[in-house]
Structures are given as structure tokens and as C-alpha cells.
Chain A
Amino acid sequence: MLSTISNRTWVLLLALVLVFTLVACGGETNEPAPAADTPAEPAATADTPADTPAEPAAPVSAGLTNDAAVVASEFFSQEQYDRSMRQMTLNPEGPEGEPWVQYLEAEFVDTSAYAKEGPYTFCFSNAGVNNPWRVVGWTTMQAEVDLHPEITELIHVDAQGNDEKQISDIADLVASGNCDVLIVSPNTTAALTPAVEQACEVLPVIVFDRGVFTECPVSFVQPIGGYAFGETGARYIIDNCGDDCNVLALRILPGVDVLEERWASAKIAFEGAGSNINVIGVEFGDGDNAKVKSIVNDYLDRFGRIDAVWMDAGATAVAALEAFEDAGQPYPIIVGEDQQDFLVKWQENDLSGISPTFPTFQWRTPIIAALRIMNGEEVPAVWRLPQPTITNENLDQYIQPNMPPLHYAMCGCEGMPDFPTRWGGQ
């Protein structure tokens, strides 16, 4: 009898522990949500394919009134939204065909105080190389360095997605005294701000990709941003879907600023679109192919037909399309990104699609900015890069059959030395 009771108690206790672990793991995200303070002008922005955490079940809701459709207010800035919408309509200045040195609405700052004779040692504190987007970007940055013989060394320190490590990385780089310029791609915005401020006191700093809450860096490099990304995809659906259009919106996960911004602007667009746009669901797919496929599958079962799929990042676009194939349904209008696997599928099946991009060519710009600073030339204080879109019309020029499936077409790296082998191509 005693043994029976204790056995049962054990099972229950362990089950409890197990269940809590399950639930706890479900809430785990790799990407720490940035602080919700009012952002300074260089707003925090994460890179496109956010790290994909595991989550046991994907939320479901129908329509824009549901939970997954909510944009937390701390992630929305009307001013930033208006700026993005305005900049989408502007023509960038700078050399034609080289978007990585183009700029929008730039205010130039004098850097003559930093002028210095070469050769140079540049230092780079990198948030991480933990997803395909960052791998392509980092490869491109190294290739840019190789273009300039006056840069003798690029000292690269990988923070592996860890704020604490990056804070000490920056302190070490500054203390070493070896760096002529410090380039920072911050892991999270608020946490890295003090470290960047301290570095600013010692040497010229360039921040890119994601932002910090300080204007002390000489230049901050970033494309137009998440609002433009979200709007571009949503607008294409609204303009092309016709009457009675069932739209499924797929997000990665809540709480990451750039992803929230993408959805926020898409939501505004869909809400203002009129009655033909029927958003049947907003879902979190965790960037997991299998989960996205299951979600789309369930929606096809439930609604019979989906006419358009909006995505806040394209990494799982192919999986979403496969769900239509498996169900024997016609392809939807699809919003993806500039990854080769999606572009190839788009072309092969003659889809109606669009790819807003968070271009990887932005990894070239900090090196170029750093060289200009060393030469004492003016640079934009906020170097706002253009954010090209891949459409049905220009799709062909971005298809690169010799590149790996997760290569990002918008790397601006085609003319660089050792292309394509350096980027894993053949």
C-alpha cells in the first residue's frame, strides 16, 4: 500500500515538473525583446530572419480582432511610421546601381577630427552569426574589407547573441587600443547603449543593423525599416487580390521590435483596405517550416480557400506554399523574402508574389563609412539605405541557380572577389 502511494505521488510530482518545463520552454525565445522605452531616432531594429525559438503550439485566431493581431503600443511609433512611409516614395541619392552607398534624407556630419593616415585596423563587435541572414551579411562584409588594401585587419568578435558577452567584447576592443574604428551590430538596443556610449568617448563608432538609444555614434547605418517592409507586402495583396479575398497573416513571434513594426504597418494597411480584404487569421509560426505548414493546412481545411498569405519574414514562405501543393489547392498571392529557395519556387510556378527585403548589402556600408571617416570625409549621421523590393517584373535578375537555397539575393555581392564560392555558391 505504502509503495503504491509513493509511486503515485512520484508520478504526479514528476508530471508536474514535466508539464511546467513544457510550458516554460514554450515561452522561451532566443531573441530578447528590446526594452520598451521610447526609442531615440535610431530605433532598434533586428535583422530579418529572427532567431527561431521552439514553441510547442502555434496560436490560432481568426481575423484582426484576435490576440495574435495585437501590436503592443511600445512597439509602435507614429513618427517612425510616417518617416518610413515617406522614405518609401523617395528616390535615394548616390551612385546608381550601388544601393549600399546610396542614402535617403541624409544630414552629413564633419569627420575631419578623425582623419588619420593608413593603414587601418577596424574592429567589429557582431551580435552573432547565428542565422542565414547574418551569415550572408558577415561574408559580404569580409569581402568588402578585402577590396581595400589600406585596411590591414578587421578584428571580429562574435557575441553569439549574448548581451553580456557583447558588452565585455566592446570594452575589450576599446581597451586594446588596436582599433582605429569600432563597428557595432548590437544584439539588443537598450542593453548595449551604455557600452556604445563608453566606446564613443575613445574612438569613432559606427552602429548598423540594429540600433542603440544614443546619438553618439558618428554614423548609424540602417535601411528604411520594418514599417516599409510590412506595408509593401500588404499593399501588394490589397491591390492584386480582387473581391472577397481571404488573407492569412503569418508572423514569427511577438515581442521583437522589427517584426512588430512589420505587422503593425500591414495591419494598418489591411484595416484601411475595405471589405474585400478578409484577414481570416493571424498566426505565429516561430519560423518553423513544419509548424507553418501545419497552420496553413489547418486554415485550408477550415476556410476551404486562402487567396493570399502575408508574412513578416520569408524564411518559411516555401513551407507555406507546400501546404497548398499538398492540399491540391491553387497557389495564393504570396509575400516572401529574397532567399533563393523562395525566389526559385516563385519563378518556377509563375506565382503572383512580392519580396520586401531587409537587404544584406547593408553589411558593406559600415566598412565604407569607416574608410570615409578615416579620410576625414563627410558621412551621413543617419545613413538611411534604400530597401529594394523584388517584384514579378524584376524577379529574373535575382534568381541565382548556382547559389545555396538560403542565400539572400540582395547581398550586393555579385561583383565582389571570390563570388560565388565565398558565399557557398558553385
Chain B
Amino acid sequence: MAELTHSNEKNTLWTRFVAGLRSIPPIYIIVIILLIAIGTQNPAFLEPAGFLNLLRRSAPLMILAAGQLFVIVTGGFDLSVGSIMSLTVIGAALLINNDPANTWWVILVLLGIGVTVGLLNGLIVSYLNVPSLIVTLGMLLTLRGAGLYWTGGAPRGYLTDNFRIFGRGWIEPFPLVDRLPYAVAVLIIVSGIAIYIFHRTNLGRQLLAIGDNARAARLAGVPVERMRIVAFIISAVMAVIAGILQGGFGGVNPEAGRGFELQAIAATVLGGAVLLGGRGSVATAIAGALALEALFTLLNLLGLPKPLRDAVQGFIIIGAVAYAAYRSGRSR
């Protein structure tokens, strides 16, 4: 102790600076590096309009990752989210039936479908003791089939403009940035709520406790089954919101959410979550999703040939996760 106080002030400052740097989750640094790299390729992305466009495009995955994290930290997986997104888009087109007046109740119905799917996932995982990987994989296939059956192979109907505004429209005028995409506004609100729930309420701590050691959590009085169900419901509802944004951005596409489930899981891992549960944060998971989208954009801008791009993508993800794991290993 006495020796420490002897070290000169500069050194202390430096140590504190390094320690401070260390305490920043690495994913934020990765995001910043990626954004700078994108900026060198195309400065337009660093201007407010360009950056907001990137955020708008990334919003569905970011919201999806936030939801996925609630399940991941309990030690589960939710593979059904991509199918929920697709079903949201197909269902919206069919239910709205080209009448803008239907939009609002349709959104409520879709959110209701999300709650139901999440509830089913959670009930089966909690009370029938089927691993979540299997349950949600089954749900993925069921929902995909349901969507196909519902549309008979070809989607019908348009998405009305007042539905699409969430994924496509802008709030204008908006102070500082001229116009703000609705998707970014939705992203800020939804992720704000998710971060609050996860980091500032008891729910987040209980979910982490379940993932860390379900038995210990139960003994400590955590209602394990109920908390798991809540986590799946949050994930499914987030998937519906992501689907509304994606459908709004791109229009009717029966496969709007295909592949998103794995990207969402990758995003949470990039954000430092441990796949067996017990560790993770909503904020870094959202940053992980942004990093993934930024990486896709960067590789596109670089114009690498496709096979090389896949390989680079894989290496960067492995590298980032390995670094995060190394860091978390040291900090224990």
C-alpha cells in the first residue's frame, strides 16, 4: 500500500487511464474502429444522414439482438425470431388488406401473436423441459410452414404507407439532423426500455442468476420458470417489432426474417454474452448488432470477392469473440 502511493502521479494517471480503457467493453471499440474504417471508404457514412441511414438499416437486427439477449443470459436460445419476423410481414400484408385504417389494430394483433409465440416457447422450455434449442427450432419450422400455408406460396396485399412509415419514413423536420428515421426513433425507445428493464430492475439480475446457476437461483427464491417465460416473450415481441421495421423498409417479402436468428445470436456473443448464460448485457448486445451490420457494410464497400468476404467475416467474428473471452477471463 505504502509502495503504491510512492509511485509518481503521472504513472498513476496512466494506470488509471489504461484501467479506464480496459473497463470499456471491447465491442464499443470494435464499433468505433469499424465506423472509422467505413468512413475512410465512404465519408458520407460519417455525416448525420449517412450514419442515420446505417442505423435505420441496422435497427431490426439491433432490436432483435436486444430481445435475444434476455434469452441468452438464461442459458437458452431463441431460434424462432427470424420466422416471427417473416410471419409479421406476411401477416401484416394479409390482415391490413390494403386498407390503411386497419394498420393500428393489425399491429396490436401482431404484437399479440408475438406474446403468444413467446409464451408457448417459454411454457414448453420451462414445464416440458425440452431444450430451448429444440423448442425454438421447432417453432421456426412451424411458423415458416404456417406462413407458407397462410399465403399459399405467394404473399397477397400491399403494406400500406402508414404501416411502412416505421421502417421507411422520417420524422421531419427534426432538430440537428434535419430528419430522423422512424426506425431510429423506434430503436432508441425500444432499446432504452430494454436496457432499463435489464440493467435497472430486478428482472435482469434474476435472469442472469438463472443463467449462472439455475438451481442456486431457485433456492434464492427466483421464480425460474416464470422468468424464463418472460424472457421468451420479450424476445418474441422484439422480433415482431423488428419484423414491422424490416417489412416497412423492404416491403412484402415472405422471407423477410430468414437468417436473422443466427445473426442476432452472433451479435449478443460479439457483445460479450456467454452462450451458456450468466453473463451479458443488452447495451453491448445492441452494439454487437451494429458492429455486425457495420462489418457487412464495410465488406460491401471494400468490394471483396464473395468467398473472401465470407472468410473475412468469419475471422473477424471469431477474433472479436476470442478477444472478448480473453478479456473476461482476465478480469475474473
Contacts and interface: CB of A to CB of B under 8 A. Distances in A.
Interface of A: 4-5, 7-8, 10-12, 14-16, 18-23, 25-27, 52-62, 66-68, 129-132, 134-136, 284, 288-295, 297-298, 301-302, 318-319, 322, 326, 341, 404-406, 424
Contacts of A22: 262-263, 266, 313-314, 317
Contacts of B329: 4-5, 7-8
Interface string B123-154: 00000000000000000000000001000111
B301 A60 contact: yes
Interface in B273-310: 274-276, 296-297, 299-306, 309-310
Contacts of A26: 310
B25 interface: no
A27 B153 contact: no
A318 B274 CA distance: 41
Contact of A18 (B262, B302, B326): B262
B322 A15 contact: yes
Contact of A131 (B154, B276, B304, B325): B154
B314 A19 contact: yes
Name the prevailing secondary structure of the B interface residues.
helix
B228 interface: no
Contacts, number: 163
Given A11-B275, A22-B263, A56-B259, A61 B305 contact: yes
B243 to A, nearest CB: 11
B274 A301 contact: no
Contacts of B322: 12, 15
Interface stretch (B3-11, B108-116, B192-200, B247-255): B247-255
A290 B246 contact: yes
Given A19-B317, A134-B153, A297-B53, A290 B269 contact: no
Of the four ranges (under 10, 10 to 19, 20 to 34, 35 or more), the interface on chain B belongs to 35 or more
Given A25-B259, A405-B252, A57 B313 contact: yes
B154 A23 contact: no
Given A288-B255, A290-B249, A406-B156, A21 B262 contact: yes
A56 B263 contact: yes
A263 to B, nearest CB: 15
Nearest to A70: B305
Contact of B251 (A11, A295, A302, A318): A318
B155 interface: yes
